[in-house]
Structures are given as C-alpha cells and as structure tokens.
Chain A
Amino acid sequence: MTALGIDTRLGDLQPEFWQAAGETLVMASTGLVLGGLLGLALGLGLYVTRGGGLYANRPLFVVLNVIVNFFRPIPFVIFVAALQPLARVVIGTGIEIWAATFAITIAAIFGVSRIVEQNLVTVSPGVIEAARAMGASRARIALTVVLPEALGPLILGFTFAFVAIVDMTAIAGVVAGGGLGSFAQRFGFRQFDQVITWSAIVVLVGFVMIIQLGGNTLARRVMRR
C-alpha cells in the first residue's frame, strides 16, 4: 500500500502496530504506578533523613543518596541489560515485556525519588513546625501534612516522570520487550518506512499528551483547593 505517495507496510502490520501500542501502555503504566509508589517512598525517605528533616539521620541519608546518585545516571539502554540477572531472580525471566517492565520500574524508582525529594523540600518549614507545636507525631506530619502540602507539584512531577518512562519503553527491544519503540525501529527505521516511524511517534506523543493534560488538570484542581 502507499500513503502520501510513499510505499509502506503499515496496512499489513496493523495488528502488530496496535499490539506494540498496548505493550508500551502496559510497560509505561506499570512503571509509572509501581515505580511512582516506590519512588515516592524512597523520595520521602531522602526527605525525612536529610539534615534538619523529621527523622534526620546523616548515615542513612548518605547511603540512600549515594544509591540514587549511582543508579539514576545510568543510560537506560545499558541499565536494562545490566539488570537482566536480577530480573531472572526476581520475576523469573530476563527477556520480553516483563523483564523490560522490571527494569523500567527500577529506573523509575530512582528518577521519581529525586523529583519527590525536590518537591517535598519546598514545603514551608513553618507549617511543619506548626504541626510539631500541635503535638503531631513525625510520621503523621510526613504523611498528613508534608505530602498533601506538596501534592500539586508532586502530580506535575509524576507527569514529568511519565515522559521519561515512555522514553525508556522505546528501549525495551534490547530484551525483546516489544512496544512501539522497537516496532518503529524494526519496521520503520530498518526498512526505510517513514510512515511506520511517524505513526509510532504520533501514538507515543498522543499518550504523553493525554497524561500531561490529565496531570495538569489534576494538579490545578489540587493546588486551587
């Protein structure tokens, strides 16, 4: 078939195309939810243990900080390969979609934790002091004062993280993880089929835009409260 006067196999590959889109969604949403939750926990850990924090603990903070600093900058294309042995131990397989999702989730934890920490430090120390003055426990302050106060920026941070996670899904092909990224590489880039490449791009951009719109709307509603 031809589209815009260019030869393309997009028509023949439609089932594979939509399957790839589904795989991207599964990897990205699992990464966002699991990586987001665990990253929130790690980010909260960084925030409360830092100097002057609710549970200020320098040794623990240094350890967490070094771990995050070590793993976060590793390019994902290397990270996914390096994590293969761990994936075999933890989820029983080192290839295909779940191995890729595993690596995405781990990488997301480190990325999200920094975003969370950065947003939590903007919460007014005065509000925390007021809560302490009312006799609230530290755990209560962390969970019912700090997190709600930072919720708007946190939602925007998660939205931002989603784009990075979608970026990671494009590399899932390294462990045969599928998804639109590897679809575009296999059938678009390697076969000189620009229509397939750009179709994948349009769908990916669509995902990101929907999440971005949802995140912005939610954050605006939360911050106006």
Chain B
Amino acid sequence: MTASTGPLVELRGAVKEFPGARRGDAVHRAVDGVDLSVERGEIFAIIGYSGAGKSTLVRLVNALEPVTAGSVVVDGVDVTTLSERGLRELRRGIGMVFQQFNLMESRTVWGNLAFPLTVAGMAREEQQRRISELLHFVGLADKAHARVGDLSGGQKQRVGIARALATNPPLLLADEATSALDPDTTRDVLDLLERVNRELGVTILLITHEMDVVRRIAHRVAVMDAGKVVEQGPVVDVFTEPQHDVTRRFVRTVVEDVPDPDVVAALRERHPGRFVRLAFRDTAGRPSQAFAAFARHDVGFELVHGGIEEIQGTSFGNLTVALTGDAAAVDAALAELAPVVPWTEVA
C-alpha cells in the first residue's frame, strides 16, 4: 500500500445493486449512496439490522463485491480501477475476520496461518517465525498443531484474527466477528481486537448488530438502515443524542430509556406520584443535583427505573423517578432542574 495522509478508507456515493432473483425482478439495492470515511488508527463501527446492507458495504472495501456506482478509495487507491491482479495485491493489505470464522478444516491452525503468508510469497523459514509470533499474540501458542475442528468458537476466532493479521495489514475488516460467540468469549475477542488496534496500530472497520460491541470498542459509529447510513459520529454523541429512530432503537438495547407502557402500569400500582424521566449527560447535571433539588423543595422521590452508563469516559443515562408531595413544589423543583437536567413526563 502506498503511504498517504488522507482517510484510510473513503466511500463516496457508493451504490451496490444485485440483480433480482428471477429475470424481470427489480434489482435489489443493498447499498444506496453511502458516504463514509474511516480515519487511520480508529475503530469504526457500522451497526444495522440484518439486511441493512452492512455486510455488502464492508465487502465493497476489499472489492469482494465491486461497486455498481460511486467510488471506494483505500489508502489513496481507487479500488474500482484495479485489475484482478491489482485487487489481489489490495486484498493482501486488508485483513478480514468473519462471523463463521471461515477457517480451512483440512488444515491445522498452523496451516491456516501459513496460507496468507504463502499467498504473499513469504519464504518458509520466515513463515515459521511469523506464525509463532502470531500465535503468541492471540494466546494460542499451544494450539499450533491442533485441528481446527477441535477448537472452541472463541479459539477459532482468535485463529481467524491471527490469520487476518498475518501479512501485517494496516486495515482489518471484521464482519460480525463476535456474533457467533457467547458473551464471555465475545468480551475476550473484543479485547483482542482492541489490542490489535492499540498495540499494532491497525485500523478496524467492524460491522455488527450489537450496540454493546459498539459501546465497548468503537470510536466512531455509522448506523445503517435500508442501504443508507442514517446517522454517524463519535460513539458518545450517537449514544447520548441519537437522532434517527433506528439509532434510538439500538441505543435502547444497551441504555435504559423510558420504561415500556406495561412496565409503567406495573410501577404505578406500587408507586404513587408523578412519573418523570430525567436525562443525565456528563457535561450537564448530575443525579446528586437532582436529588438535592427535590430535597430542597420537600419533594419525595423514588427511583423506579433506569440506570447510568459509562461510555469511553462519559457517564450518561436516564432515570425515571416517582415524585410525591405538594404539586406546586414538584413543579418548582422541576423548573429549577430544567436548565441542567432535561426531563420529560412519563405518561
């Protein structure tokens, strides 16, 4: 890859259409005019529901799928102009990790790691050294000669990551890398990806349908829906101020928002008073300020729902409280809070 200073990956008006299943069927537009840039050294996440087009999008980057229209520039090179040979060279500089690992069952762990090195034309003695280095990095030094079929899912994904890193690519594409793993193993694999980013300086473009993955390791995130990027920005901004409905739904999977109506109904049976949702953002008011204001106005308060989350050094969250006492006092307390703690009535 040539060294340059712009974004590592840049998509401009990228469109990918697939022909309909039968002759005469309408074409399916999986990616619909996406603009995106991934900066060097960051972990960029693309989140979306199944069928949103994110798997196709990530394949535009290493041209496993050629774009129908628009441009895809990787490290200053427009991939749409590359020949078959040029594409093979491009792909050697881009590692890829898959949901189903996609390891060769006919080879041992060692054999799987040797494959990309052989493809890159590395001499056998040098391969030895590189493979043992990789195995140590992913913590599988004792599994070098294990059959792939004997590994656990988490171990397979570690081999997948080692394989993707074999040729020292500056960019790693992770296609739902943790979606086939249990929560503990997911944490291990995410930690490993974070180390890959931090220690090796590898830029990671990962796609996922789990907001938790985004929260744990991504720096920036793009939300995809029906082939389009509907929202993108730093993870903290997207979590605290989601603009699009799809984003809000994703955020709600990891951050408590307003309780569901049936939950509210159940809560009302046990808690008297007025239900209000308080939104806390690190930069503005803190829960203690709210509680102090209630106390000052002699308002009784009960925390009935919600929680405070911490994302990359920023705390935020939503708390639903049941307020009791004089109605005018409640109003006064809320009026005092409004400038620092945005609140909404819970119906």
Contacts and interface: CB of A to CB of B under 8 A. Distances in A.
Interface of A: 124, 126-127, 129-137, 140, 144-145, 148-149, 151, 222, 224-225
B104 A145 contact: yes
Contact of A130 (B96, B105, B120): B96
Given A224-B147, A225-B147, A132 B91 contact: yes
A225 B173 CA distance: 29
Give the bracket for the number of chain B residues in contact with chain A.
20 to 34
B88 A225 contact: no
B102 A129 contact: yes
A140 B119 contact: yes
B104 A134 contact: no
Interface in B74-100: 87-92, 94, 96, 98, 100
Interface in B149-183: 163, 167, 173
5 contacts: A129-B102, A133-B91, A134-B96, A135-B88, A224-B147
Contacts of B87: 135
B120 A135 contact: yes
Contact of A137 (B88, B106, B167, B173): B88
Contacts of B108: 225
A145 B163 CA distance: 15
A144 B104 CA distance: 10
A17 B104 CA distance: 48
A147 to B, nearest CB: 9
Nearest to A145: B104
Contacts of A134: 91-92, 96, 115-116, 119, 163, 167
A135 B64 contact: no
Contacts of B104: 127, 145, 148-149
A127 B147 contact: no
Nearest to B100: A126
The 4 closest A-B pairs by CB, nearest first: A135-B92, A135-B91, A130-B102, A126-B102
A27 B36 CA distance: 64
Contacts of B102: 124, 126-127, 129-130
A71 B89 CA distance: 42
B71 interface: no
Nearest to B105: A149
A18 to B, nearest CB: 41
B62 interface: yes
Nearest to A133: B96
Nearest to A150: B106
A211 B15 CA distance: 55
Contacts of A129: 64, 98, 102
A131 B160 CA distance: 12
B89 A135 contact: yes
B103 interface: yes
Report which residue of A124, A129, A130, A134 has the largest number of chain B beta carbons within 10 angstroms of its beta carbon.
A134
Given A133-B62, A133-B96, A135-B120, A149 B106 contact: yes
B107 interface: yes
B97 to A, nearest CB: 9
Contacts of B100: 124, 126
Contacts of A135: 87-92, 116, 119-120
B107 A148 contact: yes
Contacts of B88: 135-137
A145 B115 CA distance: 9
Interface string B11-55: 000000000000000000000000000000000000000000000
A186 B88 CA distance: 62
B105 to A, nearest CB: 7
Nearest to B92: A135
Contacts of A131: 115
B106 A151 contact: yes
A57 B91 CA distance: 24
A185 to B, nearest CB: 44
A136 B104 CA distance: 14
Nearest to A127: B102
